[in-house]
Amino acid sequence: MSRRTLTMFVLPALWCLALASAAATVYCKHQSRATFVELERLAAERDQLEIEWGRLQLEQSAWSTHGFVERTASSRLKMKIPSSAGVVLVQGQGGR
């Protein structure tokens, strides 16, 4: 290759490739940062959902206790425990 061919074709081509490589590096870095920001946002959302899930589990366990159900049945629904005369036992087909 002559020096003139090198100067006219190869060097400008290499220069363009270097610029393209630099632009690709900047783009990849931008994408990486945007993805990291999204990851952090999703992690914060996950943490909030885990906190809410724990609160809901506590609420469910409080509402399902025997005492709570009995108080609610007697106060809101005006239910009461029947007397022993009002209880009828029914046996199944197995005779147990």
pLDDT in tens, the chain (96 residues): 677 877 888 888 999 999 999 999 999 999 999 999 999 999 999 999 999 999 999 999 988 888 888 888 899 888 888 888 889 888 888 755
62 close to 68: Cβ distance less than 8 angstroms: yes
Question: Which pLDDT score is estimated for 9?
Answer: 86
Record the pTM: 0.57
Q: How many residues does the chain have?
A: 96
Backbone angles phi and psi of 56, in degrees to 5: -65, -35
Instruction: Please state, in angstroms and rounded to a whole number, the distance separating the CA atoms of residues 68 and 71.
Output: 5
| Among 1, 22, 26, 23, residue whose Cα is nearest residue 11 | 1
Domain ranges of the chain: 3-68
Q: Which residues contact 68 (CB under 8 A, 6 or more apart)?
A: 62
